[in-house]
Amino acid sequence: MEIADEVHSSEHTLNGKTYTGSCFCGAVQFAVRGEPVVMGYCHCESCRSWSAGPVNAFTLWKPEAVQLTRGEDNIGTYNKTPRSYRKWCKTCGGHLFNVHPHWDLIDVYAPVIPDFPYRPGVHVNYQETKLRMKDGLPKMKDIPKEMGGSGITMAE
């Protein structure tokens, strides 16, 4: 009985595995649980301009999978559009999330959850790319059809 219980509980733990994340200075800490809905790279102008980087490694989660554990008051928000509420730490400026209300999903930037096994599956907004990445993954011109885009793919 005890062994069976143990197997059951360890399977449960695997299914709902938790990964911790934080901003650059550690004032804001959080955890993600389970699996994201989709992972990939975004090449759009907005992601590049805000991050000051050539590409954004995204992991999109249901809101209930993301839990703040420290420093909630220390989070700043900027929304240039109602589709993206970009969040960062007010102390270090480190980026944390991008909340997308219209999809009911939160982008947790892959680099802020270092222990999470990031497995990108798609490139989005590749028509705007400044950094071609020849990794064999599909390159969407904008975004997948099921997320409101054209669903058209492009050459790498």
Q: Using CB under 5 A as the criterion, which residues of the chain lie in contact with Zn ion when the complex forms?
A: 23, 25, 27, 42, 44, 47, 89, 91-92, 94
The nearer residue to Zn ion, 32 or 71, going by C-beta atoms, is 71
The nearer residue to Zn ion, 41 or 116, going by C-beta atoms, is 41
The nearer residue to Zn ion, 56 or 65, going by C-beta atoms, is 56
CB of 17 to Zn ion, least distance (A): 25
CB 152 within 8 A of CB 141: yes
Tokens of 131: 């950094």
Distance CA 135, CA 131 (A): 12
DSSP state for residue 94 in the 8-state scheme: -
CB of 55 to Zn ion, least distance (A): 9
CB of 53 to Zn ion, least distance (A): 11
CB of 74 to Zn ion, least distance (A): 7
Q: How many CB atoms lie within 10 A of CB 103?
A: 16
Angle CA(89)–CA(119)–CA(66) in degrees, nearest 5?
Answer: 40
No. of H helices and E strands in the chain?
2, 10
Helix, strand, coil proportions of the chain in percent (round to 5)?
25, 35, 40
CB of 64 to Zn ion, least distance (A): 23
The nearer residue to Zn ion, 62 or 83, going by C-beta atoms, is 83
The nearer residue to Zn ion, 16 or 26, going by C-beta atoms, is 26
